[in-house]
Amino acid sequence: MTHLVLVGGGHAHALALRGLALDPEPGLRITLVAPERYSPYSGMLPGHIAGLYGFEAMHIDLERLAKAAGADFVRARATGFHGADKRIALDNGENLSFDIASIDIGITPDLDAIDGSRTHALAVKPIGSLIPKLEGLIAQAQHPDGPRRVLVIGGGAAGTCLAFALLHRLRRESDGRVIDVALATAQEITPEINAAARFFLRRSLRRVGITVHEHSRIARIDANGARTVDGRDLTADAVLVASHAQAPAVLAEGDLARTPDGFLAIGEDLRVRGQDAVFAVGDCATMTAHPRPKAGVFAVRQGPALRRNIRALVRGEALSPHIPQKDWLMLIATGDGSAIASRGGSFAFAGRLPWLVKDRIDRKFMALFDHDALPTKS
């Protein structure tokens, strides 16, 4: 039997494992390793925060998925990756031997990038840790002396969606009390979308009353908010950091090739450079010939490609290249049942329709992992 070990329950691994559940590969034994049973779907996080989706709607049940694929589910965290020895060290003291391995463990916040962020801020990544903390913040806002001013640091798509979602949820649940949400970004707001979409975005931010501090690099966070490098104070009762993501430190524990910024370096076949039987996908990996932003849209496309190349490796066949898309649709939810669409250098659209498109895409993805959509294994 060929032993496949999947470390992490990201989007790409979930899709690959689903494919292997629906069409099992003879002679393949699978182990899925993840620290938690439920894996959040990042595309639905803003909707969840805004109160539009419940917990189950945006989480993949990894234990159920593993069972459907006839795989073992090990609830643990990897502490080292050793390609030469074909083993993975786990935080429970176990060493898992493998014939083929794949790593999909996402990214982590760099809590040392801004002084005070470890003690005075909530990090957006990992999402699984953020959700209960945000629910606590929302519960506090229901009290008369609860937080009224929230600052989100990071003006990319993730931070902007988070600001919209938080504003609508907090205002709805704060019993009419004034809630202020602000965004601080070291550069222009959402540089990853085109100028036309950015126009719509700025208009939406103004309409709902979110203050945007562009070109405002944060030097320090404390109990009173944040201070920029040029000495301006941004007062806040709560601060969330949606910037300064980095490669997980565990990727340095072992012998796998990494990029200068610490991510696993992979080729077009999704294998780690210099490794014959170790794949890496999702945000923890960088395709050195085709670098792309860290975004779920690329991980979703990697899932089927990973499944195909795992099969090819098991069968002794040639692996296929996967070239990530150069042009992709971005949908920024504004928390009120609307969204802003951006694609390429000029296409932009704002309103209800982009939200309906996004909602359909997200629900269709999650429906793939419904109980009825998976085979039943005894």
3-state SS class at 59 = strand
| pLDDT of 176 above 80 | no
Domain range summary for the chain, segments of one domain joined by +: 2-35+76-107+247-326, 109-245+332-342+346-356
For 158-163, what is the mean pLDDT?
94
State the average pLDDT for the chain: 94
Q: Given this model, what pLDDT does residue 378 score?
A: 57
Output the CA–CA distances (angstroms, integers) from residue 14 to 32, 53, 243, 365, in the order listed.
10, 20, 26, 11
pLDDT digit string (tens) for 316-361?
Answer: 999 999 999 988 999 999 988 999 999 999 999 999 999 999 999 9
pLDDT digit string (tens) for 10-29?
Answer: 999 999 999 999 999 999 99
Give how far the C-alpha of residue 327 lies from the chain's centroid of Cα atoms, to the nearest Å. 19
Q: Which residues contact 125 (CB under 8 A, 6 or more apart)?
A: 106, 107, 108, 109, 245
CA angle 67, 81, 273 (to 5 degrees): 105
In CATH terms, the fold of domain 109-245+332-342+346-356 is FAD/NAD(P)-binding domain (3.50.50)
3-state SS class at 244 = coil
Of the chain, the percentage scoring pLDDT greater than 70 comes to 99
Residue 319, both tokens: 């692996």
Please report the beta strands in 36-148, taking only residues with DSSP state E, as ranges in sequence order: 38-40, 59-61, 72-75, 78-82, 87-90, 95-97, 100-103, 108-109, 122-123
- H helices of the chain, in order, are 11-22, 45-49, 62-68, 117-120, 127-140, 157-173, 195-208, 296-315, 352-367
- Indicate the length of the chain as a whole number: 378
Cα separation, 345 vs 339, in Å, equals: 18
| pLDDT of 206 above 70 | yes
Bridge partners, residue 101, by sequence: 5, 278
| pLDDT of 178 above 80 | no
Q: In 10 A of CB 45, how many CB atoms?
A: 23
Bridge partners, residue 6, by sequence: 32, 102
| pLDDT of 155 above 70 | yes
- CATH H-level, domain 2-35+76-107+247-326: superfamily: FAD/NAD(P)-binding domain (3.50.50.60)
Q: Which residues contact 42 (CB under 8 A, 6 or more apart)?
A: 11, 127, 296
